[in-house]
Amino acid sequence: MREFLEAIESGASGDEIGALAVPESYRAAVVLKDEMEMFGGVPSDDKDPRKALHVQDVAVPELAPDEAYVAVLASAINFNTVWTSIFEPLPTFGFLQRLAKESVWGKRHDLPYHVVGSDAAGVVIRVGSAVRNWKPGDRVVVHCNYVDDQDPSAHDDAMLATNQRIWGFESNFGGLADLALVRANQLMPKPAHLSWEEAACNALCNSTSYRMLVSHNAAQMKQGDIVLIWGATGGLGGYAVQHVLNGGGVPVGVVSSPDKVELLHELGCDAAIDRKAAGYKFWKDEHTQDEAEWRRFGKDIRALVGDDPNIVFEHPGRQTMGASVFAAARGGTIVTCAATSGYMIEYDNRHLWMKLKRIVASHFANYKEAWEANRLLATGKVQPILSAVYPLEQTGEAAYQVHHNLHEGKIGVLCLAPEEGHGIDDPELREKVGEDRITLFRRHGSH
């Protein structure tokens, strides 16, 4: 893949890039099937992604007619790579076996290794015979909705497709590698004013937050809405805050340190709650929640913004869902896409039905939503929230940081890119948007 890097960095044309030979193997971050029992009996918190994630050479898979090879300059860590690397709640090899049953092309994915990663920025180096809109040399970012466009269930909202998958999690050949295999309908133009690693960190979390808050498929935020955002400087939350501010809403960010409160203020979110300092104990013990604590939390929100949240942006799950349902305003919406702290959820249904609240489920984003979310980045209306960057060889360490909540925003991973800062094609737009805004999390992360 070195030849591709040299060609890309020296400004070679698409034809020149398309004429280079694709190698037989490439460097990739993988988990191994014969290690999927390695953490047997170990508590979740002690399962160590650094032990399970390896960087090794793997064979380049055959290219299907509707696919492209992308030379990956940079990628990013998502929480799904943490799940894969601790084999929870299930080893992802089961997903690959299921995909293998679908077609001859699906069969390629069922291997003794799983190349992980659900974000990437890079350059198209080959396209299959059925690809119309993309060609070698195109600078792209990849979104992770892996969907079969020959299935009728995919044609109202692709996220409702019966065999919808997340690339690099429920499929093989993901983005934490020097090469990625993607369907053509995962490609989007790379925001020209961003470096490779700044461009690579957004698609998964930014698109998910966009669908949860903005799209007609989920909470449909409107001007003036108060939006309570859990993990407001985390991967999802860092974009959610920006979407709420852009849409004329009032974000209330929950975080867990004074440093993160400061970051929220710099991001433009005035109302911030430090959940650690407040010491909320929503669960008295493993089985019993404490309504008095929900009430104290609700009062704290009202004290900051004068009212209850119209929307609660949920993803921590078991630890917070009871409080989220309680705190939402009468008629409000709790929009959820995850359950980091546990997926068996408990809340008091009386607070839901008597006050006509609703819980709305959301999951990643369809192509249109991902494209619109990407356009917000490309036009400088949403900023990347990259806070740290690791080389591909240290993917395990980067995933460890996310597993233990030691990070802010997104952690980027350099794949082919030799160092940070390469790949900026539109310095004028960059200057217009403002270096300070683009690098806010990065500067904060290096404190």
DSSP string of 69-128? EEEEEEEE--HHHHHHHTT-SS-THHHHHHHHTT-HHHHTT--SEEE--S-EEEEEEEE-
Question: Residue 136 corresponds to which amino acid?
Answer: P
Nearer to ligand NAP, 126 or 315 (CB): 315
d(CA 402, CA 409): 10
82: its two tokens: 């943490």
Relative orientation angle of helices 203-213 and 367-378, to the nearest 10 degrees:
110
Looking only at residues 285 through 314 of this chain, which bind ligand NAP when binding is defined by CB under 6 A? none
Nearer to ligand NAP, 28 or 236 (CB): 236
Question: Residue 80 corresponds to which amino acid?
Answer: N
Is 217 a binder of ligand NAP (CB under 6 A)?
A: no
Angle (CA) 170-441-278 rounded to 5° is 90
Is 337 a binder of ligand NAP (CB under 6 A)?
A: yes
Beta-bridge partner residues of 360: 335
Applying CB under 6 A, which part among 125-133, 228-236, 294-302, 435-443 lies near ligand NAP? 228-236
Q: Is the dihedral of CA 149, 187, 439, 248 positive or negative?
A: negative
Nearer to ligand NAP, 127 or 232 (CB): 232
Whether the link from the prior residue into 89 is cis, omega within 30° of 0, is: yes
Nearer to ligand NAP, 183 or 275 (CB): 275
Q: Which of 27, 275, 442, 444 binds ligand NAP (CB under 6 A)?
A: 275
CB of 344 to ligand NAP, least distance (A): 14
232: its two tokens: 């407001």
d(CA 75, CA 391): 10
Q: Which of 49, 106, 122, 316 binds ligand NAP (CB under 6 A)?
A: 316
Nearer to ligand NAP, 136 or 231 (CB): 231
CB of 228 to ligand NAP, least distance (A): 11
Q: Which of 205, 264, 325, 417 binds ligand NAP (CB under 6 A)?
A: 205
Looking only at residues 132 through 171 of this chain, which bind ligand NAP when binding is defined by CB under 6 A? none
Applying CB under 6 A, which part among 76-84, 185-193, 296-304, 439-447 lies near ligand NAP? 76-84
Question: Residue 98 corresponds to which amino acid?
Answer: R
Is 255 a binder of ligand NAP (CB under 6 A)?
A: yes
Is 254 a binder of ligand NAP (CB under 6 A)?
A: yes
CB of 316 to ligand NAP, least distance (A): 4
Is 341 a binder of ligand NAP (CB under 6 A)?
A: yes
Nearer to ligand NAP, 69 or 280 (CB): 280
d(CA 303, CA 272): 11
Is 230 a binder of ligand NAP (CB under 6 A)?
A: yes
Applying CB under 6 A, which part among 78-86, 214-222, 378-386, 423-431 lies near ligand NAP? 78-86
Is 76 a binder of ligand NAP (CB under 6 A)?
A: no
For 246, the 3-state DSSP assignment is helix
Q: Which of 28, 31, 66, 80 binds ligand NAP (CB under 6 A)?
A: 80
Side-chain-facing half-sphere of 205: CA atoms under 13 Å: 33
CB of 74 closer than 8 Å to CB of 200: yes
**Closest to 306 (Cα-Cα) out of 270, 331, 352:** 270
> Could you tell me where the DSSP H helices lie in 247-320?
258-267, 275-278, 291-305
Is 260 a binder of ligand NAP (CB under 6 A)?
A: yes
Nearer to ligand NAP, 65 or 342 (CB): 342
Is 327 a binder of ligand NAP (CB under 6 A)?
A: no
d(CA 44, CA 323): 24
CB of 376 closer than 8 Å to CB of 167: no
CB of 120 to ligand NAP, least distance (A): 16
Is 249 a binder of ligand NAP (CB under 6 A)?
A: no
Is 236 a binder of ligand NAP (CB under 6 A)?
A: yes
Residues that bind ligand NAP (CB under 6 A): 78-80, 204-205, 208, 230-231, 233-237, 254-256, 260, 275, 315-316, 319-320, 337-338, 340-341, 363-364, 402, 405
